[in-house]
Amino acid sequence: MTDQPTDFDSLSLSPGLQQGVEVAGYAQMTPIQAESLPAILAGRDVIAQAPTGSGKTAAFGLGLLHRLDPALIRAQALVLCPTRELADQVGKQLRKLASGIPNLKLLVLTGGMPLAPQLASLAAHDPHVVVGTPGRIQELMRKKVLHLASVRTLVLDEADRMLDMGFEEAIREIVGKTPKERQTLLFSATFPDAIRDIGRNTMRDPLEVTAGGVTEQPVVEQTFYEVDLSRKQTTLAGLLFEQRPESCVVFCNTRRDVDEVAESLKHFGFTALALHGDMEQRDRDEVLVRFANRSCNVLVASDVAARGLDIDELATVVNYELPTDPDVYVHRIGRTGRAGKGGQVLSLVTPREISRAHVIEERQGSPLRWKKPVAMAPAARSAPPAAMATLRIDAGRTDKLRPGDVLGALTGDAGLPASAIGKIDIFATRSYVAIARNQANNALARLDKGRIKGKNFRVRKM
């Protein structure tokens, strides 16, 4: 890697963007930012190999905001993301970076959300910045309500995941509706041939950047356990009982395994939830809320369902079964050890999966670490439950409910200490609040009898 200045002051940022950098809390540039930002700010196309947690959002965010003309009420920047969760996260970060730019309109347009409010917002006036998922962007574009003729910067974020999810055709159609002279920024954790093909067909002489050498990577300890298929579930329970991670994602290759493993872990006492692609959107949202607010300590997920999942300080990733594609393994283990923090990956390998382990070993270029699983399965219901529990309130943004209203009701009439209250999430018609597990029933009883914002709303423990 070339020597680059690592201070944001070394960049020619406008005062508004400097303010955004301060609001977002950035001090020193990460390696991917130092390598790519000078070229991005100069208007060059960039193709970057950058895993989640490398600081890529700030790199392309500063680039697209730098080229923006707030006086021009047209969509000037488009960021495509594989999932709604990632799009929401990118939107939040961009809003922080844009806090010094007055009157900027940023819209997050994703599937799984009602179409009517998105149509109404687009009808009011065009946004300056659009962040969205390919399917919904394609839909709005075809309805001729989203206009891309003025796009100056196009970002493909986690491009490999978008291709894995079958969005290649949608991406090509969307790219075709943007001006040829636009700037294109492509970020991907892996570089399969399909990504290189998209790069060749959509970019002009791109600078290729790779995030980090070994020294910049946080320590992620990978351990492989050879187990018989019949002992997989009890071995998993034993390892998690022994390790006791505060948060853990267990990846399975099939929906059937997701459901079976989640039920098995519940039997042993873990607060485990399943997440797979066949779930209704509301159920999926509730699972993600409970995992993010620490009222679920083990999330059992399929790869498709977990894409875009962003959880800070994820301690442990488990491969209940090794994926057939080593790129998927790389993406799974990238969930832990993020933003400089360490993490661990545990992989359970049956004899028929050994060949997959050999492919991973070849890909990594170093021997895998194997151990014998000695942990015994815990007794039924003996594993530690999650620290928090979630209360669901049947009211939300449409009822003008805000996090402060919920907090006030809990610390006021309900008499809970503020320390017992965790994350509060407000959706359109429902809200969720994490409560210390030992206080949850008390909080439920008090809220059931009391009022929030002067009104009675139905509350239940999940």
pLDDT, one tens digit per residue, over 370-427 is: 998 877 788 888 888 888 999 999 988 888 888 888 888 888 766 788 888 888 888 8
- Angle ∠(273,275,276) on CA atoms, nearest 5: 150
Does the pLDDT value for residue 32 go beyond 80?
Answer: yes
Q: Which residues in 374-401 are b (16+ Cβ under 10 Å) and which e? A: ebebbeeeebeebbbbbbbbebbeebeb
The pLDDT score that the predictor gives to residue 3 is 54
Tokens of 305: 């369902």
For residue 7, count other CB atoms closer than 10 A to its CB: 10
Instruction: Single out the residue of 25, 10, 97 nearest to residue 57, CA to CA.
Output: 97
The four Cα atoms 30, 34, 38, 39 give a dihedral, to 10 degrees, of -90
Question: What's the CA gap between 97 and 66, in Å, rounded?
Answer: 11
pLDDT tier at 26, thresholds 50, 70, 90: confident
- For domain 388-461, which architecture applies? 2-Layer Sandwich (3.30)
DSSP 8-state code for residue 452? B
Mean pLDDT computed over every residue of the chain: 86
What radius of gyration, in Å, describes the C-alpha atoms of the chain? Answer: 23
Count of CA atoms in the C-beta half-sphere (13 A) of 240:
39
Give the burial class of 217: count Cβ atoms within 10 A of its Cβ; 0-12 exposed, 13-18 middle, 19 or more buried: middle
Q: What is the rounded CA–CA span in Å between residue 213 and residue 431?
A: 42
Distance CA 79, CA 310 (A): 17
Is-contact 320 262, C-beta < 8 A? no
For residue 196, what are its two tokens? 């290189």
How many other C-beta atoms are found inside a 10 Å radius of the C-beta of residue 105? 16
For the chain, the domains span 8-214, 218-371, 388-461
For residues 32 and 48, give the distance between their C-alpha atoms in angstroms, rounded to a whole number: 8
User: Which range has highest mean pLDDT (202-211, 326-335, 448-457)?
Assistant: 202-211
**Residue 375 structure tokens:** 């942990």
Specify the residue for token string 């020193």. Answer: 28
Residues 122, 148: Cα–Cα separation, whole Å: 12
Give me the pLDDT at residue 369, please: 92
Q: Is the pLDDT of residue 305 over 80?
A: no
Average confidence (pLDDT) over 207-233: 77
**DSSP tally for the chain: helices H, then strands E:** 17, 18
Give the count of beta carbons closer than 10 Å to the beta carbon of residue 352.
Answer: 9
Looking at residue 214, its pLDDT comes to 32
Instruction: Provide the pLDDT for residue 4.
Output: 57
DSSP state letter for 455: B
pLDDT value of residue 306: 72
Structure confidence by residue, pLDDT tens digits, 312-341: 567 899 999 999 988 788 878 877 765 456
Q: Is the pLDDT of residue 256 over 90?
A: yes
Query: For the purposes of burial, counting CB atoms within 10 Å of the CB of 292, is it exposed (0-12), middle (13-18) or buried (19 or more)?
Result: buried
Domain 8-214 matches domain 218-371 at the CATH topology level: yes
How high is the pLDDT of residue 149? Answer: 95
- DSSP helix, strand, coil percent of the chain (3-state; round to 5): 40, 20, 40
Determine the topology of domain 8-214 in CATH: Rossmann fold (3.40.50)
User: Residue for token digits 């930002």?
Assistant: 37
| pTM of the complete model | 0.64
Place of tokens 């993010």: 292
Residue 217 has a pLDDT of 47
Q: How high is the pLDDT of residue 307?
A: 60
The pLDDT, as a whole number, for residue 188 is 86
Average pLDDT on 130-139 reads: 93
CA distances from 152 to 66, 155, 203, 435 (A): 11, 10, 13, 45
What pLDDT was estimated at residue 5?
Answer: 57
* Distance (Å, whole) CA 317 – CA 332: 7
Give the CATH class of 218-371: alpha beta
Q: What is the pLDDT of residue 213?
A: 42
Q: Give the range among 2-6, 12-16, 224-228, 321-325 with minimum mean pLDDT.
A: 2-6
- Of 289, 332, 344, 340, the C-alpha closest to 307 is 332
What are 77-103's pLDDT values in tens digits? 999 998 888 899 899 999 989 988 888
Point out the least confidently predicted range of 204-208, 217-221, 414-418: 217-221
State the pLDDT at residue 252: 95
Alpha helices (runs of H) in 25-151, residue ranges in sequence order:
31-41, 56-66, 84-97, 115-124, 134-142
